[in-house]
Structure 1
């Protein structure tokens, strides 16, 4: 620490008192006036108040001594002289300098705002009086904080400089050093379990452990304390009720880079359950409580199992209105290493909900939240209904977080208020985007959708997008609560022009326009049944040199169709997290068919299912699996599924790493044609993906950023080849499945959702078109 030369704190109490004693000649004198010279920072009124002398009152050496002490205790002064001048008592003071500038440099691990907040509490702030003794305390405290983070080589250097007008500039230079690495973790005293088993769930790892996204081998005091608690939990879950951690030591190498950790333990022996009993008041049938107790006589005691049992009993009573149940377990250890467990239950009175309030929903109307509540005001408070309400609000996808808090009503024992606190997140998007793939080239257009239109919970969407292959316009509106019972109604108008003219799909153009009306009926909290009816006109314009298949289809069935298409969809959706789900599942089954009397007779059946699993109970490490299956065919007078209704595979949303819509059956041409075969799709779709979602270490906001390693697989097939086809093979051949691996990255930016996919095709055929990279940029609000 570097300190400048400055006026030393010369109290001069003894000389001052000596002067007073000489002037008074040890006799009390009357003060005609008091004067304070040298004040700059302290207001004179406060100085006179601290001194405490009144005009016309006598003073003696004791009063002067007390006044001097009081002035010094304010911290404002470094020097005080007292003398008498013409019956006036004069206090000549020298004030400490004030802090004119305060800089903190070199800190990355600890936020500057947090440091400034701590310095302020210590009195180190611009405008405050400079106190040199405070600097040593601050330097020591900063050093302790960095030690706790494993930065034993950190250095704190404080530079103090004089400034004009009796001010001082302070610069705190921080060299954070490097984090000490854990070289060895040694557990001493363990006999029944080896070190490898005991440290398996530790956050800390020895430096030989390698993970590019982990800092497990970096020492941190808090992390080791957590690992010791993990060790205790391990033994208690194995029945070792006498287990104890005797001591723990942390040793440093001479260069402060290596850490050696030793944990001394006493294991004891495992305990087994001898007897189980219930005590206290049981307002519900005893059998309902016993169903929650999974321990049996002779089982090894487990603290985690006991905790789960307590939660189960509390939930069972909470589902009967006893929301504030107190459940305790009293273990009685016996000499033969067995234990009696007595569950004490204190249910309290039945609780009713007085009021439900909502906060945090600045955009969403209260009624949108209230209609998702299965727990009602004035009704018995039921734990399962409260949890169900929370889940239903989360499934809306409008909120980043949802918390339901029960709050006792003051002055009552049987009433609670429920506070629903939400944090809104973007519920709309502009899909009009800049996109690119090696195969499709530039993709652009405009699309806007709002799942929470004007805070009503209704969905409004308009899309206008275009690429090298297609142009699409659609507008739709859906009201999820068309009736109070949750029946939804939606309407959609659409117009699509698909103009394929590339190496992967045959050259033809299809115009579709139509209108669709749908109604959805809730079957449960998560399940829904939707019926839809669409009137659609389809027009086909084939090229001058069509494939055998498209020419055969248009010659047989025509090129203009008016169809009435009905569909029914069953869905079960329990995904949580909105745009980037973190938990739950979703499954939907769809049947879509043209009705009798339409120009086309065909049907399509589709199944889509996905699920998220938390890895190690973390919402940041996830496993995600998704699969899609589809089958379609003609019926009645139509032998085939219309070729423009075929399924396609390859590209984003299918099998990444392969050209968009490039996989599957190929069309054929006459020998006189110059065209090469290209993908024509198929009436059977089988694709799936598996992803490991992981957090990036440099990212703080994981709700808007997602990174995943993926494995994609699948293809399209056909079981009804056209009679004119020469390249077609009927049936599903698993050997034709295509696979890819890669990395995906999605960022919900303030301006636009940005996604990248880098994929490597694992088993491409010589004729397959591969596509290594795609990105897309849209806007979220």
Structure 2
């Protein structure tokens, strides 16, 4: 479930500003009650001045009826009752004989409410907060409410460090007793922290103490971190960090004696001063574990990292408490508590610690509930659960279930909460709140060029087909020089144990030159069956078995000579293969869509089995690890290696050309149509797709060379993500350094031939589908390299 603490805080603050407001303005209490003060019997009641409010509504609130005896006290009571409704600006009660005359002046209705100039407070949050307190279009206008709201908004902005904020409410009168209300906001710039000064710290310098603060002096990274903007809430949190900093280093008597925040005359600069008393450093004298530990006491004591003679550290004490509660939570004690009781000896400067364990009742999970999965069936989510209904509560199983749900890729966010069962102290419900993201894509394209004529492409894919968790993809593409039809289907739970089964079918007829590779055409088709078997929570193995056919057409003078010679050596242009692939993969990321820690790696071996036209193998290794450096930075290190070769005997032929000359041609090594390629968005950015590595010419003396790929691929990347730069989990900004190339065999590997680039990238899961944009500067390149600094990939979604 997505929560909006800022919105709720604003609404509560606005509402609380009105709670203390009187039921009606003080000046309204001077309404005149005319007529005799002598009691009289009401024979009739007449209402004057009503426009929008019905007479029935007034009579509902008026505490006087026909036949009642009325005196001055009763009329005063009636005036107060009508004012409390909030509908009227003025109420007068007169008497004409036995007729009670009530003259009313209605408050105007709000025709239009407009807020302009707000950036820090979102308009939708602000309007919702105003609506919650009755300041909305169609509601009755109250000037006092508007004034109090203006004051409260001013305080809200000042709490964000914007002391120059100006709020100008404007009320425009309209016909039919209506008003337009406009609140114009000039936020101004947030006051910047120019200096933070600590007074009284003798044992430590200021810099290491304030290094972890959210508030910081103006620096070169402030444009990104915004840590130089003063906020009362941030400072309060930083003072708590200051207290923790000293307690973590054994200064038990530490205290903050005073804090002072001063402002420059122009309200643009802030100066923060804190006076502290460090006190003496304490050591731990003894550590004991008491209470009902449930598990053997020796096991619990091993979880305590605080030891005698260590310098006292509250952080280590909290770490030990959390380790014990987590251990007990994994065997059902969801509400276990550990109360560290310190025994401070000021004379010896020591602290004795008693870790008192209170396990509470052992808890059973009554139900596992899913909310927010409007498209995805419960069965798809439930099969990822490691916490089962009717079993003992396990925090580890609950957390693992959350990670598995994130790993599906169907959800933008996954939140979990534990709800106690009413009337039961030993049962809970575990609720997973998910927010679904786009799991399908639809790509349609039309194009025209002199080379290929009209091109049409349609691709439809769904990773969560009809909410079943099955993956299906259909693609069709056709032009004068290309035809392509693909179909794939995967059932990730072919068996209840998580064994997956998939099928791939395709038929392609295209000119490879469209892919920045060597110029030849091919017609290929294949059918494959893929099996996946989980072996642990993070590890799985896969197997693929398929058959394919590939017919190659080369053109001497246009196709690189090495490819033509390979075809001539075999004496045929059609390649049949029985193909098998075995793989192992480990996925240990904390979040499938936007990981911040963990790793993923895969090893695979592909073999064209004996009996194939060409017998060869390919090995692939991919590894990616995310390192959380701080909440601002996440480093991703990535490696991609590939190698292939033939394992059958080389084929050699002696050919006689039309001019009578003879030549020897050989087919050996990895077939050219299975070569690795590099360059582009998915490998070394800044270089045109598939253009790095070995090149060949179509005939001797030609100045036009073509990429032909290689049997060895080496790719590496360092990428720094900025998770907090964009206020959305759907987008990430990064800077990167890519390096890599492909080579014609291991013997030809040369570090001096590696290409490298650096740049910036944006990855966005947009409503139209995933979009990746990068701008790179090649750092190491050669003159023949094809450069493409701006690169992007995208697809439509539904």
What TM-score does the superposition give when structure 1 sets the normalisation length?
0.88
- How far does residue 190 in structure 1 lie from its aligned partner after superposition? 1.7
Worse-superposed segment, 574-583 or 302-311: 574-583
Q: Do the aligned partners of residues 414 and 469 (structure 1) sit closer, same or farther apart at CA in structure 2, a change above 3 Å counting?
A: farther
Q: Among 403, 414, 423, which residue is 1:402 paired with?
A: 414
Work out whether residues 560 and 706 of structure 2, in 8 Å CA contact, stay in contact via their aligned partners in 1.
Answer: no
Indicate the residue corresponding to 1:623 in structure 2.
Answer: 635
Match of 2:304 among 293, 299, 302: 293
Instruction: Name the counterpart of 1:487.
Output: 499
Once residues 481 and 758 of structure 2 are traced to their aligned partners in structure 1, the CA distance between those partners, rounded to angstroms, is 26
After the TM superposition, which residues 534-549 of structure 1 pair with which residues of structure 2 at under 5 Å, given as runs?
534-545=546-557, 546-549=559-562
Which residue is equivalent to 1:726?
none
In structure 1, the partner of 2:755 is 738
**1:474-513 paired onto structure 2 within 5 Å:** 474-497=486-509, 499-501=511-513, 505-513=517-525
Deviation at 1:632, TM superposition (A): 1.0
Q: 1:366 aligns with which of 349, 367, 378?
A: 378
Task: Return the match for 1:347 from 359, 370, 393.
Answer: 359
Work out whether 1:457 is the aligned partner of 2:469: yes
Alpha-carbon spacing, 1:389–1:473, altered in 2? closer, same or farther (3 Å): same
Q: Distance in 2 between matches of 1:248 and 1:362?
A: 51
TM-fit CA distance, 1:589: 0.6
When structure 1 is superposed on structure 2, of 170-179 and 340-349 the one drifting more is 170-179
**How far apart, in 2, do the equivalents of 1:396 and 1:266 lie?**
52
Q: CA deviation at 1:122?
A: 4.7
Q: Gaps (5+ residues) in structure 1?
A: 1-6, 721-729
Does 2:175 correspond to 1:164?
yes
Structure 1 SS opposite 2:228: coil
Task: Choose from 265, 272, 275 the match for 1:254.
Answer: 265
Alignment of 1:681-760 (within 5 A): 681-695=709-723, 697=725, 699-703=726-730, 705-719=731-745, 730-760=747-777
Distance in 1 separating the partners of 2:398 and 2:141: 55
CA, structure 1 residues 80+771, in 2 after alignment: closer, same or farther (shift >3 Å)?
closer
Q: For residues 405-484 of structure 1, what are the structure 2 equivalents within 5 Å?
A: 405-430=417-442, 445-464=457-476, 472-484=484-496
1:411-454 Cα distance to aligned partner (Å, 9 max, x none) = 33333332232222122223566999xxx999973332222222
Count of aligned residue pairs for this structure pair: 751
The counterpart of 2:155, out of the listed 144, 166, 171, is 144
Residue pair 2:681, 2:792 contacting (<8 A) in 1 also: no
Partner of 1:657: 686
- For 1:670 and 1:49, locate their aligned partners in 2 and report how far apart those are by CA, in whole Å: 100
Counterpart position of 1:280:
291
Q: Distance in 2 between matches of 1:702 and 1:207?
A: 27
- Give the distance between the partners of 1:589 and 1:184, measured in 2 at CA: 53
1:133 aligned residue: 144
Where 1:229 maps in the other structure, the secondary structure is helix
Contact 2:628 2:635 in 1 (8 A): yes
Partners of 2:194 and 2:612 in 1: CA distance: 75
Residues 49/234 of structure 1: CA separation in 2 closer, same or farther (3 Å cut): same
* Kept in 1: contact 2:594–2:729 (CA 8 A): no
Structure 2 vs 1, CA of residues 270 and 89 (structure 1 numbering), >3 Å: closer, same or farther?
A: same
> C-alpha deviations, 1:712-746, integer Å up to 9, x for none?
101112237xxxxxxxxx43111111111112223
Q: Structure 2 matches for 1:17-96, cutoff 5 A? A: 19-21=35-37, 24=38, 28-40=39-51, 43-44=54-55, 47=58, 52-53=63-64, 55-56=66-67, 58-79=69-90, 81-96=92-107
Matched, 1:585 2:599: yes
Mapping of residues 181-196 of structure 1, within 5 Å: 181-196=192-207
Q: 1:776 to 1:101 in 2, by over 3 A?
A: closer
| Contact in 1 for aligned 2:608/2:614 (Cα 8 Å) | yes
Structure 1 counterpart SS, 2:121: coil
Deviation at 1:48, TM superposition (A): 5.3
Contact 2:759–2:774 under 8 Å retained in 1: yes
For residue 154 of structure 1, what is the aligned residue in structure 2? 165
> Are 1:590 and 1:607, in contact at CA under 8 Å, matched by a contact in 2?
yes
Distance 1:45 1:404, change over 3 A: closer
TM-fit CA distance, 1:249: 2.0
Retained in 2: the 8 A contact 1:470–1:500?
no
**Contact 1:12–1:80 (Cα < 8 Å) also in 2:** no
Structure 2 unaligned segments of length 5 or more: list them. 1-24, 651-667
| CA root-mean-square deviation | 3.1
1:546-561 equivalences under 5 Å are 546-558=559-571, 559-561=573-575
User: Structure 1's 525 and 668: CA in aligned 2 closer, same or farther, altered over 3 A?
Assistant: same
CA drift of 1:133 comes to 3.4
Secondary structure at the counterpart of residue 254 of structure 1: coil
Tell me the distance in 2 between the aligned counterparts of 1:159 and 1:733: 73
8 Å Cα contact 1:374-1:388 kept in structure 2:
yes
Partner Cα separation in structure 2 for residue 16 and residue 511 of structure 1: 99
Shift of 1:73: 4.7
Asked whether the 8 Å contact 1:433–1:776 carries over to 2, the reply is no
2:624 is the counterpart of 1:597: no
- TM-score, L = length of structure 2: 0.87
SS in 2 for 1:412: coil
Shift of 1:196: 1.4
Residues 642, 66 of structure 1: CA spacing in aligned structure 2 closer, same or farther, 3 A cutoff?
Answer: closer
Partner of 1:772: 789
Answer whether contact 1:239 1:301 (CA < 8 A) is retained. Answer: yes
Paired residues of 2:407 and 2:592 also in contact (CA < 8 A): yes
Asked whether the equivalents of residues 631 and 724 of structure 2 are also in contact (C-alpha less than 8 Å), the reply is no
Structure 1 residue 606: Cα displacement: 0.9
Aligned residues of 1:523 and 1:529 also touching (Cα < 8 A): yes
Checking the alignment, whether the CA contact within 8 Å between 2:677 and 2:713 is kept in structure 1 is yes
In the alignment, what sits opposite 1:644? 673
